[in-house]
Amino acid sequence: MTDQAEKIERIAVYPGSFDPVTLGHMDIIHRAAKQYDRLIVAVLNNLSKKPLFTVEERAELLRQATSDMPNVEVDVFRDLLVNYVEQKQAQVVVRGIRSVTDFEYELQIATTNRKLNENVETIFMMTNPLYSYLSSSVVKEIAQFAGDVSELVTPEVRIALQEKLHGKPVE
């Protein structure tokens, strides 16, 4: 066999609620996309959170934000992550870490996923320090009070937040 025939496509899944996608998420997406042949950004419906945007709206905002990245695809899932990863024939789950608190939570999830399916590996990527404070919740709170989120999200997300929260287009 040739080396080309033996090469397995390296596929990673970056799951999250992305409500909305922030520049911190985009930083992880850009960096992870460089590491894998294909990166699937998988939007989930987190039952423990009350989302502002529908799953479909979040996926569309991510598609707009990643449209210039040919090896990134956006998908929606409503299953156990390990089942989704196996279905997509991915080898890795990518998770961003902002703090020690994030690490403790993500370690618990990664360990559980490994228990459910020993073939699912989780890779942690440290968030760029510029975004270490940034979360979707912070963005939504600022936007709720008409604060400037232009340095926290893409222009499309800023417009979508304005329309969703205040019912009018951005001026």
Catalytic residue (one of 10, 49, 115, 166): 49
Active site (annotated) includes residue 58: no
Active site (annotated) includes residue 99: no
CA terminus-to-terminus distance, the chain: 60
Decide: 93 and 110 in contact? Cβ < 8 Å: yes
Catalytic residue (one of 58, 95, 98, 140): 98
Angle, CA 169 vertex, CA 168 and CA 170 arms, to 5°: 120
Signed CA dihedral, 132, 69, 58, 116: sign only: negative
Active site (annotated) includes residue 78: no
Active site (annotated) includes residue 88: no
My answer on whether omega of the bond before 129 falls inside 30° of 0, hence cis, is no
CB atoms within 10 A of CB 88: 17
Decide: 73 and 43 in contact? Cβ < 8 Å: no
Catalytic residue (one of 10, 132, 135, 136): 136
Cite the beta strand spans of 50-163 per DSSP E.
Answer: 72-77, 92-97, 121-126
Catalytic residue (one of 7, 10, 17, 25): 25
Annotated catalytic residues are: 25, 49, 98, 136
